[in-house]
A and B are shown apart, each in its own frame.
Chain A
Amino acid sequence: MDDDRVFKALADPTRRHLLDRLFERDGRTLTELESELEMTRFGVMKHLRVLEDAGLVVARRSGREKLHFLNPVPIRLIHDRWIDKYTERRVSALADLKTELEESA
């Protein structure tokens, strides 16, 4: 689950649409997902494949059906890796500013 794959998977509107559909209702079959898109079954399968490779979708068997689930963890990890990092830097920049101002006072 490297970041590159996640960013690439998210860079396509159809794939984001598929994730939104799964967010609304999780655990769907290919047939259900396909019925909401103006796209061939093969096209939807290809997009799901990219999402699975990025770890954003997990396919699991349930009886005879293959259900697709949204896995939000990679997005969370990107959040932790990037958003937290920048928040931390802003906080430390303010801390540095405070130290500097107080020292020169």
Chain B
Amino acid sequence: MTTMTEIQTTQVYQVFIQATPEAIWEAITTPEFTAKYFHGARISVTPNSYRSLSPADELWGDDAVLEFDPPRRLVHGWRSLYAPELAAEETSRVSWELEPRDGGVTLLTVVHDQLEGAPKTAASVAGVGWMYVLSGLKTLLETGEGLG
């Protein structure tokens, strides 16, 4: 058995959020919302483009939108432009799936895959990376508070 964890080329994260798919969709596609839970990034998503700006207006992400089906499914490319060694890697893919459940709850699934050509990116978003974002998104939608 090795102590090193293999690079996970597909990562799956799931969380139940007490909010409608419409509210979650808005929270993941509008910069005013994303700034409150996505490391301060102001992310704008249109049917054709996914753009992420840092609080200092640096370009953190600029990728193609591959599927845009509000408020159910969003798929976009991912290249971490905020760090040169990550930006040099190949583009991976992020899918957001929103499924309404009973009691006003929505199951949000985030799949980050096609990471074969981006091992450093895979390691940087794994574990705390996506968890921090999703936990912050849940807190924001359920309590109205951002984690900063």
On whether the two chains bind one another, the answer is yes
Residue ranges of A at the interface with B (Cβ–Cβ < 8 Å): 1, 23-27, 55, 58, 60, 67, 69-74, 76-77, 80
Within the assembled complex, what's the spacing in Å between the Cα atoms of A19 and B11? 14
- Whether B13 lies near A73 (C-beta < 8 A) is yes
Rounded to whole angstroms, the CA-CA distance of A1 and B128 in the bound complex is 19
Q: Is the CB of A72 within 8 A of B6?
A: no
B81 nearest CB across to chain A (Å): 25
From B51-59, B82-90, B131-139, the one touching the partner chain is: B131-139
Q: Are A1 and B12 in contact (CB under 8 A)?
A: no
Supposing A58-B109, A72-B13 touch, asked if A25 and B6 sit within 8 A by C-beta, the answer is yes
Which B residues touch A77, using CB under 8 A?
A: 15, 135, 138
Identify which of A1, A24, A69, A76 contacts B16 (C-beta below 8 A): A1
| Contact-residue bracket for chain B | 20 to 34
B135 is contacted by which of A67, A69, A80 (Cβ under 8 Å)?
A80
Does any Cβ of A come within 8 Å of B127's Cβ? yes
CB atoms of B16 and A55 under 8 A apart: yes
* 14 other A-B residue contacts (CB within 8 Å) besides A27-B12, A76-B132, A80-B139: A23-B5, A24-B6, A25-B5, A25-B8, A27-B10, A55-B16, A69-B11, A72-B127, A73-B13, A73-B14, A73-B131, A76-B128, A76-B134, A77-B15
In the bound complex, what is the Cα–Cα distance between A97 and B127 (angstroms)? 36
Report chain A residues within 8 Å CB of B2. 24
Separation of A100 and B105 alpha carbons in the complex (Å) = 45
A25–B127 Cα distance when bound, in Å, is 13
Inter-chain contacts of B135 with A (CB < 8 A): 73, 76-77, 80
* Given A76-B135, A77-B135, A26 contacting B16 (CB threshold 8 A): no
Sample 14 A-B pairs with CB under 8 A, ordered by A number: A24-B1, A24-B2, A25-B8, A27-B8, A58-B12, A69-B11, A71-B13, A71-B14, A72-B127, A72-B131, A73-B14, A74-B15, A76-B135, A77-B15
Shortest Cβ gap from B60 to chain A (Å): 23
- Chain B window 91-105, contacts with chain A (Cβ cutoff 8 Å), 1 for yes, 0 for no: 000000000000000
Chain B residues 122 to 148 lying within 8 A of chain A, measured CB to CB, are 127-128, 131-132, 134-135, 138-139
Q: Which residues of A contact B131 (CB under 8 A)?
A: 72-73, 76
